Structure 1
Amino acid sequence: MTFAAILSASRASSDSSGALRASLHFAGQTLVEYQARQAARAGADRIMILVSVITPALSQAVDRLSADGIAVALIRDMVSMVRDAPRDADVLLVADGVVIAQGHFDAIAERDGNALLVTDDSRASAPFERIDAGQRWAGLARISPDLLFGTLDMIGDWDLSLTLVRAAVQNDARRITVPQDDLLTGRVALVDGQAQADLVAQAVMSAGSLAKRVRGLAEHYLLCPAARLFSPALMRTQVPATQVRVAAMALGAIALVPIELLWPATGFLLLLVALALAEIADRLDELALRAPPAGWVAFVVPFFAVGGISLAGGSVLATCLALLLAIIQLADRWQRTGGARAWMIFTPASAVVLLLLTTLLGATMMGYEVAMLAAIASAGAIILRKAT
């Protein structure tokens, strides 16, 4: 069953009375944009952002969300809410300034009818709204259409989120209790200033990988760990993933120059750095809850690597190796590797690492022969394991 989401974006930040909590920078975007992407990832098919004033930051956030295919609209009054809210589907209610782990979004999304994410009353949960003597609202709720429109009919100038939560409590909504560890580690938090948002973002980004998928040999054991190490620092300095990806493309093109000048080791080293930057760009997209590119943009740097391998070898063997690596790269990026393990997928990055080592040892030709055997074995493993 589909559902919509209502996000609140009207409370002022503690940094300035003219700034909104929703406009705080979080994971490379505004906080409300991050919340909208979480709701969309959980299954919301439309996002309504309830605002008191439309600011440039909110308008730009809506533009970015729309460009990524997320249906979003700004709602300024109850009349618009009554008109735009779905009458045949539940809504996911997200509090103003709240940061909640994606797992809790998914848990609420799986429920039907009224449900509340709550936390036991404690010092750690003090910033959240109290709903009874022992618990507080943790900032996320699922509201049925009957309860939503019944509340809208009598709400007047009251606070929509808190009024809906109180109505849900009175209607004995099911409760999902957040562990206290989530509050202490920042997986559930209420932020009202940029410094606090930065601390919570750091906790969220260090919590582990956001996307679980099999990667190639070099990516899994070398490039992905490097990306996990460096991407949080780049995210905190607000470096966009697009800029990192463009830098990777430029460096990949530059790497072909020393290869053409018969300095293959330098070229392979530059290609490896370019591939690492491309992996970091993908990681930045994942941290911001954006899907990494799957079109031609995703293959520019790997194909520079393939071209460099062919150019450095200058033989039929090198050209055949490059073509086979290109096919494996497509299978890896499009997740068509069947049940192959990471160490079975010999990608262009894996070949670059191998050729860099053998070139430094003065055994370039042997490196190409070993790389060809590894690529053939990798293609065989992908085909045969997928067939079974």
Structure 2
Amino acid sequence: MTFAAIISASRASSDSTAALRASLHFAGQTLVEYQARQAARAGADRIMILVSVITPALSQAVDRLSADGIPVALVRDMVSMVRDAPRDSDVLLVADGIIVAQAHFDAIAEREGNALLVTDDSRASAPLERIDAGQRWAGLARISPDLLFGTLDMIGDWDLSLTLVRAAVQSGARRVTVPQDDLMTGRVALVDGQAQADLVAQAVMSAGSTAKRMRGAGEHYILCPVARMLSPALMRTQVPATQVRIAAMALGAISLVPIELLWPAAGFLMLLLALGLAEIADRLDELALRSPPAGWTAFVVPFFAVGGISLAGGSVMATCLALLLAIVQLADRWRKTGAARPWMIFTPASAIFLLLLTAIFGAISLGFELAMLAVIASVGAIILLKRA
């Protein structure tokens, strides 16, 4: 069953009365933008951001979300809410300034009818809204259309989120309890200022993203661990993934120069660094809950890598190796590697690493022969182990 999402974004930050919690920087974007991406990932087919005033930061967040294909709109009053809210599906209510792990979003999204994400009353949950003597609201609720519109009819100037939560409690909504460990580790937190947002973002990024995709040997064993180590620091300094990806493209193009000048080791090292930067850009996208690109921008750096391999070899075998590596790269990026394990997937990054080692020891011809055997075995594994 489809559902919509209502995100509250009107409370002021503790940093300044002129700044909103929703506009705090979080994981390379505004806080409300991150919440909207979480709701969309959980299955929301439309998102309404309830605001008291439309600020430039909120408008820009809506533009970025819309550019990524997430249907989102700003709602300023109850009249607009009554007009825009769906009458035939539930809504996912998200509290102002709340950060909740994606697993909890998915858990609430899987339930139909009224449901609340709650946590036991404790010192760790003190910032959250109390709903009874023993529990507090953890910032997420699924509300049925009857309860939503019944509340909108009588809400007046009251706070929509808290009023809906009270109504859900009185109606006997099912409760999903959050473990206290999630509050202690930042998987559930109410963010009030930028310093707190930075701490919670660090905890979220340390836990890693929820995205899972098979990677080739070079990426899985070399590039991904480095990207996981460096990406949180870049995210905290607000370095955009787009700029990192552009730097990777530029370095990939420059790396062809030393290869043309018969300095293959230097060229392969630069290509490996370029592929690492591209992997970091993908990691930054995943941390921000954006899907890494699957179009032409995803293949620019690998294109330079296979081009460099063909240029360095200067033979038919090197060109055939480059073409086979391009095929494996496409299969890896588009998740068509079947049941092949990472060590079976010989991507351009894997070949560059092998050729770099052999070039350092003056055995680059042997490197090309080993790479050709490895990529042939890789293609065979992908074909033979392809899932039905």
> Aligned residue for 2:341?
341
| Aligned counterpart, 1:29 | 29
Contact preservation (8 Å) 2:351, 2:371: yes
Q: Does 1:104 align with 2:100?
A: no
Aligned residues: 388
* Deviation, structure 1 residue 387: 6.3
Q: Distance in 1 between matches of 2:59 and 2:385?
A: 48
Deviations 1:217-240 (A, max 9, x none): 010001010110000000000000
| Structure 1 residue 215 displacement after superposition | 0.4
Alpha-carbon distance, 1:120 to partner: 0.2
User: 1:145 and 2:145 equivalent?
Assistant: yes
1:6 corresponds in structure 2 to: 6
**Correspondence 1:1-388 to 2 at 5 A:** 1-386=1-386
Residues 208, 287 of structure 2: 8 Å contact kept: no
* C-alpha separation in 1, matches of 2:139 and 2:208: 23
Amino acid across the alignment from 1:195? A
In the alignment, the residues of structure 2 paired with residue 280 and residue 387 of structure 1 have an alpha-carbon distance, to the nearest angstrom, of 29
In the aligned structure 2, how far is the partner of 1:109 from the partner of 1:378?
Answer: 39
TM-score of the pair, normalised by structure 2: 0.99
Distance 2:256 2:213 in 1: 30
Give the CA deviation at 1:213.
1.3
Alpha-carbon separation, structure 2, partners of 1:174 and 1:376: 55
Distance 2:66 2:318 in 1: 44
Which one-letter code corresponds to 2:66 in the other structure? S
Gaps in structure 2 of 5+ consecutive residues = none
State how far apart, in whole Å, the 1-side matches of 2:358 and 2:126 are.
59
Q: CA deviation at 1:148?
A: 0.1
TM-score (norm 1): 0.99
Q: Whole-Å Cα distance in 1 between the matches of residues 128 and 209 of structure 2? A: 28
Runs ≥4 in structure 1, deviation > 3 angstroms? Answer: none
2: distance between equivalents of 1:180 and 1:254?
51
Amino acid at match of 1:32: V
- Which amino acid in structure 2 is aligned with residue 347 of structure 1? T
Cα distance between partner residues in 1 of 2:184 and 2:286: 24
Q: Which amino acid aligns with 1:281?
A: A
Q: RMSD over aligned Cα, in angstroms?
A: 0.6
SS of equivalent to 1:74: strand
Deviation at 1:151, TM superposition (A): 0.1
Preserved CA contact (<8 Å) 2:339 2:387: no
Deviation for aligned residue 1:10: 0.3
Q: Give how far 1:211 is off.
A: 1.2
CA distance in 1, matches of 2:67, 2:366: 48
Q: Percent identity?
A: 86
Contact 2:268 2:356 (C-alpha < 8 Å) held by counterparts: yes
Q: What SS does the corresponding residue of 1:142 show, helix, strand or coil?
A: strand
In 1, Cα distance between the equivalents of 2:352 and 2:161? 54
| CA positional deviation for 1:208 | 2.5
Per-residue CA deviation, residues 171-200 of structure 1 (Å, 9 max, x unaligned), is 000000000000000000001000000000
1:109 Cα shift? 0.3
Distance 1:75 1:209, change over 3 A: closer
SS in 2 for 1:308: helix
Contact 2:211–2:286 (Cα < 8 Å) also in 1: yes
Question: 1:265-310 CA distances to partner (integer Å, 9 max, x unpaired)?
Answer: 0000000000000000000000000000000000000010000000
Matched to 1:197, the amino acid is A
1:59-117 CA deviation, whole Å, 9 max, x = no partner?
00000000000100000000000000000000000000000000000000000000000
In structure 2, the residue corresponding to 1:238 is in which secondary structure? coil
The 2-side partners of 1:178 and 1:210 are apart by 18
Letter in 1 for 2:254: I
Mapped partners of 1:209, 1:14: distance in 2: 28
Q: Partners of 1:356 and 1:215 in 2: how far apart?
A: 20
- Paired with 2:5 and 2:386, the residues of 1 have a C-alpha distance of 39
CA distance in 2, matches of 1:22, 1:145: 25
| Cα distance in 2 between the residues matched to 1:326 and 1:320 | 10
Cα deviation, 1:137-190, whole Å, max 9, x if unaligned, reads: 000000000000000000000000000000000000000000000000000000
TM-fit CA distance, 1:210: 2.4
